[in-house]
Amino acid sequence: MYEFAVTPAITQLRRPGVTITEVASESLAEELDLAPNDRIVKVNGRSVRDYLDFRFQTAGETELTFLVRKSTGESLEIEFDRDEGEDLGLTFEQIVPRQCANECLFCFCKGNPEDARPSLFVRDEDIRLSFLYGNYTTLSSITDDEMNRIIEQRLTPQYVSVHATDLKTRAYLLGVDEKRADIFDKFQRLLDNGIEIHAQVVLCPEINDGKQLEKTLRDLAGHYPKVVSTAVVPVALTRYNTDERLTRVTPEFCRRTIQQVEKLQKEFRRTLGTTFAFLGDEIYLKGGVEIPSRRHYGNYPQIEDGVGMVRTFLHGFEKLLNGFQTEAKRLEAVGLARQYFRNSRTHPDARVPVTARAETTLPIERSRGKKLYGTILTGEMFAPILAEQIARYNALSGARLTVLAVPNTYFGGDVSVAGLLCGKDYLNVKDKIAGDFVIIPKHTIKSDEPILLDGMTFDELRSRFNVPVYADDMPAFFARLGSGK
Bond from prior residue into 225 cis (ω within 30 degrees of 0): yes
Query: Using the rule CB under 6 A, is 109 a contact of ligand SF4?
Result: yes
Query: Using the rule CB under 6 A, is 100 a contact of ligand SF4?
Result: yes
Q: Which of residues 120-139 bind ligand SF4 (CB under 6 A)?
A: 123, 125, 138
Q: CB-wise, 123 or 218, nearer to ligand SF4?
A: 123
Q: CB-wise, 138 or 302, nearer to ligand SF4?
A: 138
Query: Virtual CA dihedral for 251, 252, 253, 254, nearest 10 degrees?
Result: 50
* The one segment of 104-112, 226-234, 342-350, 396-404 that binds ligand SF4 by CB under 6 A: 104-112
Per-residue burial over 105-136, b = 16 or more CB atoms within 10 Å of its CB, e = otherwise = bbbbebbbbeebbebbebebbbbbbbbebbbb
CA 238, 243, 246, 248 dihedral sign is positive
* The one segment of 103-111, 233-241, 253-261, 363-371 that binds ligand SF4 by CB under 6 A: 103-111
Total residues contacting ligand SF4 (rule CB under 6 A)?
Answer: 9
Query: Using the rule CB under 6 A, is 281 a contact of ligand SF4?
Result: no
Q: CB-wise, 1 or 289, nearer to ligand SF4?
A: 1
Query: What is the enclosing helix (H) or strand (E) of 30?
Result: helix 28-31
Query: Using the rule CB under 6 A, is 236 a contact of ligand SF4?
Result: no
Q: State the minimum distance, in angstroms, from the CB of residue 97 to ligand SF4.
A: 10
How far, in Å, CA of 184 to CA of 321, rounded?
Answer: 49
Q: CB-wise, 55 or 123, nearer to ligand SF4?
A: 123
Query: Using the rule CB under 6 A, is 226 a contact of ligand SF4?
Result: no
Query: Using the rule CB under 6 A, is 162 a contact of ligand SF4?
Result: no
Query: Using the rule CB under 6 A, is 350 a contact of ligand SF4?
Result: no
DSSP H stretches of helix in 183-290: 184-192, 210-221, 251-271, 281-287
Q: State the minimum distance, in angstroms, from the CB of residue 136 to ligand SF4.
A: 7
Query: Using the rule CB under 6 A, is 107 a contact of ligand SF4?
Result: yes
Identify the CA nearest to 163 among candidates 106, 120, 222, 248. Answer: 106
Q: State the minimum distance, in angstroms, from the CB of residue 309 to ligand SF4.
A: 21
Query: Using the rule CB under 6 A, is 102 a contact of ligand SF4?
Result: yes
Q: State the minimum distance, in angstroms, from the CB of residue 175 to ligand SF4.
A: 7
Q: State the minimum distance, in angstroms, from the CB of residue 191 to ligand SF4.
A: 21
How far, in Å, CA of 350 to CA of 470, rounded?
Answer: 50
Spatial contact of 66 and 43, defined as CB atoms under 8 Å apart? yes
Q: State the minimum distance, in angstroms, from the CB of residue 158 to ligand SF4.
A: 14
Q: State the minimum distance, in angstroms, from the CB of residue 106 to ligand SF4.
A: 7
428-467 footprint of ligand SF4 as x/- string (CB under 6 A): ----------------------------------------
Q: State the minimum distance, in angstroms, from the CB of residue 383 to ligand SF4.
A: 28
Bond from prior residue into 157 cis (ω within 30 degrees of 0): yes
- 258, amino acid identity: I
How far, in Å, CA of 84 to CA of 32, rounded?
Answer: 17
The greatest distance separating any two alpha carbons of the chain, rounded to the nearest whole angstrom, comes to 92
Q: State the minimum distance, in angstroms, from the CB of residue 1 to ligand SF4.
A: 10
Spatial contact of 133 and 1, defined as CB atoms under 8 Å apart? yes
Spatial contact of 324 and 484, defined as CB atoms under 8 Å apart? no
Query: Using the rule CB under 6 A, is 180 a contact of ligand SF4?
Result: no
> Which strands sit side by side in the sheet containing 469-472, from one edge to the other?
400-406, 373-379, 438-441, 469-472
What residues make contact with ligand SF4 under the rule CB under 6 A?
A: 100, 102-104, 107, 109, 123, 125, 138
